[in-house]
């Protein structure tokens, strides 16, 4: 019984679960170890991942704009990690069409507004590094950058 409770809390690594990423994940934020002290992202859009065993959908929402990147392939890689290349999305839906997602990034005293236009900027080219559901139940994607940034998601439900 204690093992069952522990497995339920950890959400991964128990009972041979080979697809711990399956489910709906809400974006918690971006954490950077080596970023400038004033690094800040403001007005960032909300993100949600709907991940199945083999297909995924990303939903990005801002004031008045929702972008769905649908049916990209999910591929397991070693050690419980998985790749989810959103650039392979088979369908992008913008509501309304067209619309824009915006965020402001401040770093080293410089503020930049980032605008992502839908459908023009979607799906984004290039792929994220593999994701992994870690022992604390948080899905993390460790970006390959000098700031050692990590995208973090919590499972809903």
Residue 131: phi and psi, rounded to 5, are: -100, 165
Total domains in the fold of the chain: 1
Cβ atoms of 60 and 73 closer than 8 Å? no
Per-residue pLDDT of the chain (157 residues; tens, 9 = 90+): 233 222 223 333 343 478 899 999 999 888 888 887 777 777 678 999 999 999 999 999 998 999 999 999 999 997 779 998 888 889 999 999 999 999 888 888 888 999 999 999 998 887 788 999 999 999 999 888 777 889 999 999 8
Q: Show the domain range for 39.
A: 2-155
CA distance 59 to 77: 24
Q: H or E stretch including 4?
A: helix 2-10
Cβ atoms of 69 and 92 closer than 8 Å? yes
Q: Closest by alpha carbon to 27, among 97, 131, 147, 106?
A: 131
Q: Closest by alpha carbon to 10, among 97, 137, 112?
A: 137
């Amino acid at each position: 019984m204690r093992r069952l409770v522990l497995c339920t809390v950890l959400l991964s690594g128990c009972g041979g679960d080979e697809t711990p990423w399956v489910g709906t994940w809400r974006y918690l934020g971006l954490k950077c170890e080596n970023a400038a002290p004033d690094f800040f992202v403001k007005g960032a859009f909300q993100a949600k991942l709907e991940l199945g065993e083999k297909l995924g959908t990303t939903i990005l929402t801002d004031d008045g704009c929702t972008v769905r990147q649908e049916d990209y392939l999910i591929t397991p890689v070693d050690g419980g990690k998985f790749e989810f290349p959103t650039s392979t999305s088979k369908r992008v839906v913008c509501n309304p069409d067209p619309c824009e997602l915006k965020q402001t990034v401040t770093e080293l005293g410089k503020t930049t507004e980032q605008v992502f236009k839908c459908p023009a900027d979607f799906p984004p080219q290039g792929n994220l590094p593999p994701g992994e559901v870690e022992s604390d139940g948080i899905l993390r994607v460790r970006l390959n950058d000098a700031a050692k940034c990590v995208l973090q998601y919590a499972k809903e439900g």
